[in-house]
Structure 1
Amino acid sequence: MTNKDSALLSWKNVKGNKLRTAITIIIMALGIFALILIITAIKAASNGLTSSFSTMGANSFGIRFKSRNLNFNGNNNTTKKTKRGLKEKKSNEGIPISYNEAREFKERYSFPGTKVGLTLRGPNNIVTNIGSKKTNPDVSISGGDENFLELNGYKIAYGRNFTPAEVNVGRNVCVIGSGIAQKLFPTNNAKAIDAIINVDHIPYRVIAVLEEKGSSAFLNTSRVIITTINNIRRQYAGQASSFAIGVMVKDLKLMDMASGEAIATFRPIRKLVVTDDDNFFIDKSDSVAQSLLKNLSFLEYGTIAIAFITLVGAAIGLMNIMLVAVNERTKEIGLTKALGATRKDIRAQFLFESVIISLLGAIVGIVSGVLIGNIVAILLKTGFVIPWLWVAIAVIVCTIVGLLAGLIPAIKASKLDPIVALRYE
């Protein structure tokens, strides 16, 4: 008897006991279903979370100079001296990041999958007007380069981004927030494009209007004006503070590696020696996203544990059912051996049968788990998710479970004496 014959005979027996097979498949499928369902839902939630935080600038970090009295985004960031930092020169403390340092970092930083942008903050209490329409004195202005909008998760509702030429020359062009557009162009925000507005008594041509986005790590988009970094350097030379560097990371999981590379790149630019502490700090905006992703990981571990327990129970159930099948088919086994089947053939037949039932359970569990798990993807408006790695693991595990569960019944069946088996009633 060949393996093909054993497999075909096993499949015939599986189809011949529909109720028992169905119950066994359901038991086996439950563990796989729970695993694939939750893993798929977690993957969809993770993709949605990453996408959402990416649009908020949460997949980026900033590099800023240290100041003991620095207040950034409502949080008090104080400089803490390390043992090494106690030895640093006092002249290194509180030195703003210069334009040349920021530009050199942008040229030298080469971590894969990242984008670098430069920022220079202007005043926060300016007035903007066009004719008789004007804003309250709570508008902030900042300068950036061609990567600034993407780095901070800003989206353009109307208009275009800065060109490299505009950034280099420092032209009087600007991007305005939705709140300013609504104030100055209440009937149609699109009319703001190419309009000349006065920003702190300086004429600027509007090239874009931002979508409503609420607060980001840097600015409030509804009451912000963004111009080129060199324009801020020229117009607000005496009021602008230190330059800031923003880095966007393609994958949140690479954030720590990317920030570590940034520190290694920027230290020599800041002319720091080994005994000097960093006189700049990394401001990560992904902390909330990382925390939520970590919680999802714990849920994933719990699901794996539950699925393992379920599969152990399913394996025991499958083994018991196969032992019952051996008893029911004792006479059939005796007849098969009398016709020339070897112990190996009998073992192969029962092992094939056990593995077939186990894999059918895996298929049912995987398909149902993926389909129902993607309800989360639909709700979060992310793409269809298939956790291929876990699908492969589920198939491999179920194959092993089928082999282990069918091993004892297969050995028992192969050891039956054909004469005794033929007498069995």
Structure 2
Amino acid sequence: MIFENIKLAMSSIRANKMRSFLTMLGMIIGISSVIAIVSLGDTMRSMVASEYENFGSGLAYAYISPPDDYYTENDLFTKEDGDQLKEAMDGKVTCVSFRNSSRTDVKFGRKKETVVLTGLAENPTEMKDPQIVYGRMLNDKDILDKKKFVVLESSTALNLYGQENAVGKTIKTTINNQVEELLVIGVYVNTDSALMKLMNGGSFAEAYIPESIMMSDNDSQWAIYFWMAKDQDMPQLQSKIRDYIARMKNQQVENVVCYSAQEEMGTIDSVLGSLSAVVGAIAAISLVVGGIGIMNIMLVSVTERTREIGIRKALGARTRDIMIQFLIEAAAISAAGGIIGTILGISVVAIGGLIVGVGVVVKPVVVLIAVAFSAIVGLGFGLYPAKKAAKKDPVEALRYE
């Protein structure tokens, strides 16, 4: 009997194709919106996690926050402070930097390119480990000796010299208000994601130089950055660093702020997750609207088929059979809308990912929940019309014109 009811439901849907499609439209829009929005949020979370991994999972920074917000020279950090901190941590800190960078012009002859000039400290590949295609990356000796070397992005080299292999050539730029000539020792290919490129200044390429030529021993900065060795207890080491900085700077421990990339990532991930859930829930409201549309069209269908209901009851159909018939029809419309909406939502996310060049994240559990919710909505809103059809008096139904 169940298969007969399914055949009747399919026949009714095929007989009113346009009406059935318009009824499904609410479910299609609802399901595709939920899947697209939640998947977009998951993709953003995945991208942020990936970028923080690129920064280095052991990255952290510290600064002094005076209770009166009045900074003195003693509250700032010098290169000597960084060296002392690294030595005091006894190998638990692999790299200390001040993350110096500035947007500036680099020139070769009459050609000019705007780049983000980034200084790297000792153990530079902890800070940046680009894909070198020509020459080499900066090393510790370059930084200790304050070599006037630079590593360019391939696109910058191509624009300046007409070729990507610019190793051995020179550029001129301004550092600390002085014109400097830098020797190109390496060229790298930018493999950053779209998000990372946006964070680094959008259309401006990075060029890497020794941090030692960007700041003198007497220069000071408000924050100090450090990379912790692998397999370290991050909170414990952060606490140790806070205590050391407090003693070094003659400050109260509570005035020293030490924040890690993992903590930042957790905060951003939590915000993105909450935002995705809220926007997804708002989009899910359209599923309720779609359910109301299903109820409306099923009520119309019950009215139109009153005589059919009377004939079936006269031929022996039970109340339960009539109710199941209309419930199946409502569920079929809802399920079809859910399937089409799922395909549409995944397609929109996939196409968007291809356009911006990022890998999208579509979790199967999100698809299952969205489709299950649409089925529940279809059955829930189809229940009242089904009951109304099942309770019709066969005599009155046969008299209906």
Please tell me the TM-score bracket, short chain as reference.
Answer: 0.5 to 0.7
Do the aligned residues in 1 keep the contact of 2:126 with 2:227 (CA within 8 Å)?
no
- Residues 142-182 of structure 1 show CA distances to partners (whole Å, capped at 9, x for unaligned) of 211653324xxx4434356699xx89xx9999984229x97
1:26 paired residue number = 25
Question: How far is the alpha carbon of 1:297 from its aligned partner?
Answer: 5.7
Query: What one-letter code is carried by the residue in structure 2 that aligns with 1:359?
Result: A
Report whether the alignment pairs 1:119 with 2:118.
no
Question: How far is the alpha carbon of 1:224 from its aligned partner?
Answer: 0.8
**Pick from 263, 284, 287: which aligns with 2:235?**
263
- Residues 391-422 of structure 1 show CA distances to partners (whole Å, capped at 9, x for unaligned) of 22221121111111111111111112223323
Report whether the alignment pairs 1:224 with 2:209.
yes
1:315-394 correspondence runs (5 A): 315-394=291-370
| Cα distance change of structure 1 residues 123 and 335 upon mapping to structure 2, 3 Å threshold | closer
Do the aligned residues in 2 keep the contact of 1:350 with 1:406 (CA within 8 Å)?
yes
Question: How far is the alpha carbon of 1:104 from its aligned partner?
Answer: 4.5
| Cα distance change of structure 1 residues 408 and 155 upon mapping to structure 2, 3 Å threshold | same
Taking structure 1 as the reference length, the TM-score comes to: 0.60
| Cα distance change of structure 1 residues 345 and 311 upon mapping to structure 2, 3 Å threshold | same
- Residues 174-225 of structure 1 show CA distances to partners (whole Å, capped at 9, x for unaligned) of 984229x97xx968774748xxxxxxxxxxx9985455789979xx953513
3-state SS, counterpart of residue 317 of structure 2: coil
- Residues 308-352 of structure 1 show CA distances to partners (whole Å, capped at 9, x for unaligned) of 0x3333222211211121122222222222333222221111111
Distance in 1 (CA, whole Å) between partners of 2:87 and 2:207 is 31
Distance in 2 (CA, whole Å) between partners of 1:374 and 1:215 is 23
1:2-151 correspondence runs (5 A): 3-44=2-43, 54=52, 57=55, 61-64=59-62, 66=63, 78-80=65-67, 97-105=84-92, 117-119=94-96, 142-144=121-123, 147-150=126-129
Distance in 2 (CA, whole Å) between partners of 1:139 and 1:9 is 70
Q: Report the more deviating stretch, 14-23 or 207-216.
A: 207-216
Distance in 1 (CA, whole Å) between partners of 2:361 and 2:284 is 20
3-state SS, counterpart of residue 158 of structure 1: strand
Distance in 2 (CA, whole Å) between partners of 1:409 and 1:209 is 70
2:226 paired residue number = 245
| Cα distance change of structure 1 residues 391 and 175 upon mapping to structure 2, 3 Å threshold | farther
RMSD: 5.3
| Unmatched runs of 5 consecutive residues or more in structure 2 | 70-79, 102-116, 169-182, 191-196
Taking structure 2 as the reference length, the TM-score comes to: 0.63
Distance in 2 (CA, whole Å) between partners of 1:380 and 1:58 is 24
3-state SS, counterpart of residue 253 of structure 2: coil
Aligned residues: 340
Query: What one-letter code is carried by the residue in structure 1 that aligns with 2:21?
Result: A
Do the aligned residues in 2 keep the contact of 1:31 with 1:307 (CA within 8 Å)?
yes
3-state SS, counterpart of residue 397 of structure 1: helix
3-state SS, counterpart of residue 143 of structure 1: coil
Question: How far is the alpha carbon of 1:100 from its aligned partner?
Answer: 4.3
Distance in 2 (CA, whole Å) between partners of 1:47 and 1:323 is 45
| Cα distance change of structure 1 residues 248 and 324 upon mapping to structure 2, 3 Å threshold | farther
| Cα distance change of structure 1 residues 120 and 287 upon mapping to structure 2, 3 Å threshold | closer
Query: What one-letter code is carried by the residue in structure 2 that aligns with 1:405?
Result: F
Do the aligned residues in 1 keep the contact of 2:95 with 2:121 (CA within 8 Å)?
no
| Cα distance change of structure 1 residues 396 and 175 upon mapping to structure 2, 3 Å threshold | farther
**Pick from 172, 178, 195: which aligns with 2:152?**
178
Distance in 1 (CA, whole Å) between partners of 2:229 and 2:377 is 45
Question: How far is the alpha carbon of 1:353 from its aligned partner?
Answer: 0.7
Question: How far is the alpha carbon of 1:290 from its aligned partner?
Answer: 6.9
Distance in 2 (CA, whole Å) between partners of 1:314 and 1:244 is 53
Distance in 2 (CA, whole Å) between partners of 1:45 and 1:270 is 32
Do the aligned residues in 1 keep the contact of 2:23 with 2:333 (CA within 8 Å)?
yes
3-state SS, counterpart of residue 246 of structure 1: strand
| Unmatched runs of 5 consecutive residues or more in structure 1 | 68-77, 83-93, 107-116, 125-137, 194-204, 233-237, 250-257
Q: Percent identity?
A: 26
| Cα distance change of structure 1 residues 347 and 45 upon mapping to structure 2, 3 Å threshold | same
Distance in 1 (CA, whole Å) between partners of 2:388 and 2:38 is 38
| Cα distance change of structure 1 residues 360 and 103 upon mapping to structure 2, 3 Å threshold | farther
Do the aligned residues in 2 keep the contact of 1:44 with 1:376 (CA within 8 Å)?
no
| Cα distance change of structure 1 residues 122 and 404 upon mapping to structure 2, 3 Å threshold | closer
**Pick from 255, 261, 281: which aligns with 1:304?**
281
Do the aligned residues in 1 keep the contact of 2:118 with 2:206 (CA within 8 Å)?
no
Query: What one-letter code is carried by the residue in structure 1 that aligns with 2:61?
Result: I
